[in-house]
Structure 1
């Protein structure tokens, strides 16, 4: 009875959006635990205290997505924005 209420085709996009959001959160959690220089899971590494390892911090903060969008315009759909914001001028 409950399965027929929740597993209708209209609910599939909601499940998909929730699944994408959970996977993004999980990916970020795993990225922070494994590569963040300030997170130390092992006891031996926690005993080292504060490290001034600037190269590791730079490598963490300058990830691939940031490098990809660095020199791009901060617009989601530039062609549509230009179409509506820049009118054609008559010659």
Structure 2
């Protein structure tokens, strides 16, 4: 019965679904643990509006966003410049 469902052709599908589930789980844990708008404890839920803008700024400006801020929005910049450079002649 297992040979019918677990074939080598479906391994990439399992891998893709596993990666997606991992990313969703990571985002869920990140939001529950460090998002300033999510309050799990009873003490923090009593405050309706948080006036702590520094905490929200720290959450929004995470390390990945700081890393890619001054980078060009290209996947392969060297290949792009190779094919689009007009001075190459």
TM-score, normalised on structure 1? 0.88
SS at match of 1:37: coil
Q: Which residue of 2 aligns with 1:66?
A: 65
Q: Which runs of 5+ in 2 are unaligned?
A: none
1:20-59 CA deviation, whole Å, 9 max, x = no partner? Answer: 1110111011101110000001121110221110110011
Aligned residue pairs total 89
Q: CA RMSD in A?
A: 1.3
Indicate how the Cα distance of structure 1 residues 4 and 57 shifts in structure 2: closer, same or farther if over 3 A, else same: same
Q: Which runs of 5+ in 1 are unaligned?
A: none
